[in-house]
Amino acid sequence: MKVKAPRGTNDILPQDTAKWQYLENVAKNVFKRYNYKEIRTPIFEETGLFQRGIGEGTDIVEKEMYTFEDKGGRSITLRPEGTASVVRSFLENKIYGKAQPNKYFYLGQMFRYERPQSGRYRQFHQLGVEVLGGDSPAIDAEVILLGLEILRELGLEGLEVHLNSVGCPKCRESYKEKLIEYFKPYLEELCSDCQSRYERSPLRILDCKVDKDKNFLAEAPKIHEEICDECGDHFSEVKTFLDLLDIDYILNPKLVRGLDYYTRTAFEIIYKGLGAQDTIFGGGRYDGLAQEIGRRDVPGIGFAMGMERILLTLEEQGIELPIDESIDLFVITIGEEAQRSAFSYLHKLRRAGLKVEMDYLGRSVKGQMKAADRNNASYSIILGEDELQKGVATIRDMKIGDQVEVELKKLVEEMTDRIEN
């Protein structure tokens, strides 16, 4: 039997990891400017955390979680998203007792049992932020801007910001009742998933990908018309701050996101060139999540962006990341004695901070030169018996072909100077 990677997972090979590293570094630089600190949480948690935090009626909890029983008989789940774990860590480590707000970012793998398709996998990577301990509308605007800054620094264009308010538990309850009443005559026309959501989570019907084009959906009550004054004032302030930042946005009353913990601000950044899976990142405010998980009243807001989805968007827009996989030097040897001597200099050059490689397979000089070209080396260092006797190495500029001899005792200093200048 041929051994293959599990369905919905991918190997990220060396020719691709440079792109991932570039994306991560761009994001980390933006996070640093915005004073967000990295947090790393376990890749698995107790199942109850996600059941309470995400919501037992959501698709993630009902259909998509990788849940198993460990050897101690505990129910464990591979994390399907990052927010619940960050909030759990915030509460467990009593960070609520320190100065607020706390601004975090994370990078890591998430797991959901979904149908694999372009931009959607069962093991996928998310880059996300969470701000805990602050309920200012300015923070909502900052979080949206931060995500956009990452995408803009990567060169992405044609992005749409979709915005909505999903209210708070107080005003959303009456809105849910209105939706239940409105959809009652259309119950038979809803897809099977929406029929099961009808009483439990009717807001999710608004975001259904199957029923989205049905006429009656467009006439459904709009949540922004139903939210309480407090939520309305908050949403108005969020829009004011976005206007101050010159961020264009589309008010989307159908945007409710797929997790039960969202309150007030909800947003998605979309690139329509991706087709059905067109959301690059999304998030919102979750002021009741800490209360649900740990009985602490701590407001929060965040987003998560799929790294695979970002790389796919870069590809769709024809953007080549400035990846430099060249090396500084390739050491070419002639004879066993030269190879042993070169091995010593190889590591002296590396300790000096240079990117250096040599041949380990006993290739001919011609074969080693080809290897230097494949590695896109700036220089080659040729070392043979003649060079050893003279105490020199031949330095060849691989771009213009010029050669000079350099004393071996000055080799590291000379090559460091050449590369730096």
22 and 141 belong to one structural domain:
yes
276 and 345 belong to one structural domain:
no
pLDDT in tens, 134-155: 999 999 999 999 999 999 999 9
Q: How far is CA 409 from CA 271, 388, 391, 402, in A?
A: 57, 11, 8, 21
Burial class (CB in 10 A: 0-12, 13-18, 19+), 305: buried
Distance CA 189, CA 340 (A): 77
Strand partners, 394: 382, 405
Which of 283, 316, 349 is the last residue before a domain boundary?
Answer: 316
244 and 276 belong to one structural domain:
yes
61 and 118 belong to one structural domain:
yes
Q: CATH number of the domain at 395, please.
A: 3.40.50.800
Query: pLDDT value at position 218?
Result: 77
- The answer to whether 234 and 168 have CB atoms below 8 angstroms apart is no
Query: Strands, DSSP E only, in 298-378?
Result: 300-306, 329-333, 356-358
62 and 138 belong to one structural domain:
yes
In the predicted model, is pLDDT for residue 38 greater than 90? Answer: yes
pLDDT in tens, 182-240: 888 888 888 877 777 777 778 777 777 777 777 777 778 888 778 899 999 999 999 99
- The answer to whether 198 and 180 have CB atoms below 8 angstroms apart is yes
**DSSP readout, 63-106?**
II--EEE-TTS-EEEE-S-SHHHHHHHHHHTTGGGSSS-EEEEE
Query: pLDDT value at position 259?
Result: 63
Q: pLDDT grade, residue 367 (50/70/90)?
A: very high
Distance CA 23, CA 154 (A): 8
Burial class (CB in 10 A: 0-12, 13-18, 19+), 102: buried
Query: pLDDT value at position 203?
Result: 77
306 and 333 belong to one structural domain:
no
Mean pLDDT of 230-254: 94
Query: pLDDT value at position 369?
Result: 94
The answer to the question of residue 148 being in a domain is yes
In the predicted model, is pLDDT for residue 15 greater than 70? Answer: yes
The answer to the question of residue 409 being in a domain is yes
139 and 247 belong to one structural domain:
yes
In the predicted model, is pLDDT for residue 128 greater than 70? Answer: yes
Distance CA 189, CA 169 (A): 28
- The answer to whether 268 and 309 have CB atoms below 8 angstroms apart is no
Flag the least confident range among 40-49, 157-166, 252-261. Answer: 252-261
DSSP letter at 33?
Answer: H
Residue 406 Ramachandran class (φ > 0 left, ψ -120 to 50 alpha, else beta): beta
Q: CATH number of the domain at 242, please.
A: 3.30.930.10
- The answer to whether 258 and 58 have CB atoms below 8 angstroms apart is yes
Mean pLDDT of 262-280: 86
Domain that holds residue 19: 14-168+227-316
73 and 122 belong to one structural domain:
yes
The percent of residues in the chain predicted with pLDDT above 90, rounded, is 66
The answer to the question of residue 278 being in a domain is yes
Query: pLDDT value at position 58?
Result: 74
* Angle between helix 137-153 and 229-244 (nearest 10): 40
| pTM for the structure as a whole | 0.88
The answer to the question of residue 216 being in a domain is no
In the predicted model, is pLDDT for residue 56 greater than 80? Answer: no
**Rounded to 5 degrees, what are φ and ψ at 109?**
-80, 140
288 and 352 belong to one structural domain:
no
The answer to the question of residue 191 being in a domain is no
298 and 265 belong to one structural domain:
yes
Strand partners, 406: 393
Nearest to 352 by CA among 415, 307, 285, 281: 415
Cα Rg of the chain, angstroms: 28
Higher pLDDT, 307 or 205: 307
390 and 294 belong to one structural domain:
no
Q: pLDDT grade, residue 251 (50/70/90)?
A: very high
- The structural domain count of the chain equals 2
312 and 334 belong to one structural domain:
no
The answer to the question of residue 173 being in a domain is no
Strand partners, 147: none
Residue 73 Ramachandran class (φ > 0 left, ψ -120 to 50 alpha, else beta): left
Provide the mean pLDDT of the chain: 90
Both tokens assigned to 404: 């000079």
Which of 316, 345, 378 is the last residue before a domain boundary?
Answer: 316
